[in-house]
């Protein structure tokens, strides 16, 4: 089963791509990017619904940050759920999108059976960024560090050349921080993806910097799976979760040892197995 559609919310065109059979599962983020990163095999067990949020949907020139309020991003997910006629859903969020998935599950607990957070930090605070830098500094791979240093020399010029693609440029040049294979070129994954830079500057730069994920956790009824990559230097190391781990009533953590910032793409067979086992045993 595969089809595409869209909904409009406050003038934003939110595309969704539905692929697979099984339990309805909403994946928050770019419908194009994430539909390319989850395995074909997973579509045999889950009906994956890849949904754009406002950061990936036109109009791309909207600079009104009030339109990127976290509560509005959460309500957009609910709009898509209603549009597709789903009752209970699994909700998945990767990296910063994990915050959106978690907040959705808090606000609409009756509609969520499970929450999957992948490669997420407890927040994007300066302390967290410093911990991530220290984790990279402590690594013993000079080749990875050299590749990153080279990319950092390219970053200012490439972002200045195409400021409307700054988020994608950053993601691509941070490859040594975010892929187990530090030379991996993710360009094809981003083909055709457009971004609202005002959204990313505000949400990633301010909202996620200051977020307190423990707020309203008592309203969260669904179990949570946190999937992390051993070689993920884009976010703080796993031990940063210890300060909030006990705040969750049902949290399972899995660390993938041959992955960085995308275990679902880098170790798809193992990720699928762990995910399916957890879904049907939690």
Active-site residue set: 95, 232, 261
* Residue labelled with tokens 């994007």: 124
Pick from 224, 221, 234, 218: nearest CA to 95: 234
DSSP readout, 113-180?
A: EEEEEES--S---HHHHHHHHHHHHH---HHHHHHHHHHHHHHHHHHHH-GGGHHHHHHHHTHHHH-S
Pick from 175, 256, 204, 238: nearest CA to 98: 204
| Helix or strand run (H / E) with residue 229 | strand 224-229
Beta-bridge partner residues of 3: 18
Pick from 10, 16, 1: nearest CA to 84: 16
């Amino acid at each position: 089963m595969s089809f595409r559609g869209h909904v409009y919310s406050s003038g934003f065109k939110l595309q969704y791509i539905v692929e697979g059979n099984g339990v309805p599962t909403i994946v928050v983020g770019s419908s194009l990017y994430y539909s390319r990163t989850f395995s074909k095999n997973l579509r045999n067990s889950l009906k994956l619904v890849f949904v754009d949020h406002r950061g990936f949907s036109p109009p791309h020139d909207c600079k009104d940050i009030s339109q990127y309020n976290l509560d509005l991003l959460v309500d957009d997910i609910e709009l898509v759920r209603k549009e597709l006629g789903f009752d209970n859903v699994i909700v998945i969020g990767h990296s910063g999108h994990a915050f959106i998935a978690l907040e959705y599950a808090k606000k609409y607990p009756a509609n969520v059976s499970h929450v999957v957070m992948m490669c997420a930090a407890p927040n994007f605070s300066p302390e967290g960024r410093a911990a991530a830098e220290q984790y990279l500094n402590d690594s013993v791979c000079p080749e990875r560090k050299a590749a990153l240093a080279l990319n950092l020399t390219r970053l200012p010029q490439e972002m200045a050349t195409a400021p409307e693609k700054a988020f994608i440029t950053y993601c691509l040049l941070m490859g040594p921080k975010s892929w187990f294979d530090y030379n991996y070129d993710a360009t094809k994954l981003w083909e055709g993806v457009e971004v609202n830079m005002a959204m990313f500057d505000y949400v990633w730069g301010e909202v996620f910097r200051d977020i307190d994920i423990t707020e309203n956790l008592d309203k969260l009824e669904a179990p949570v799976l946190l999937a992390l990559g051993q070689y993920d230097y884009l976010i703080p190391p796993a031990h940063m979760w210890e300060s909030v781990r006990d705040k969750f009533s049902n949290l399972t953590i899995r660390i993938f040892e041959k992955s960085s910032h995308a275990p679902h793409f880098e170790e798809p067979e193992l990720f699928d197995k762990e995910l399916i086992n957890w879904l049907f045993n939690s």
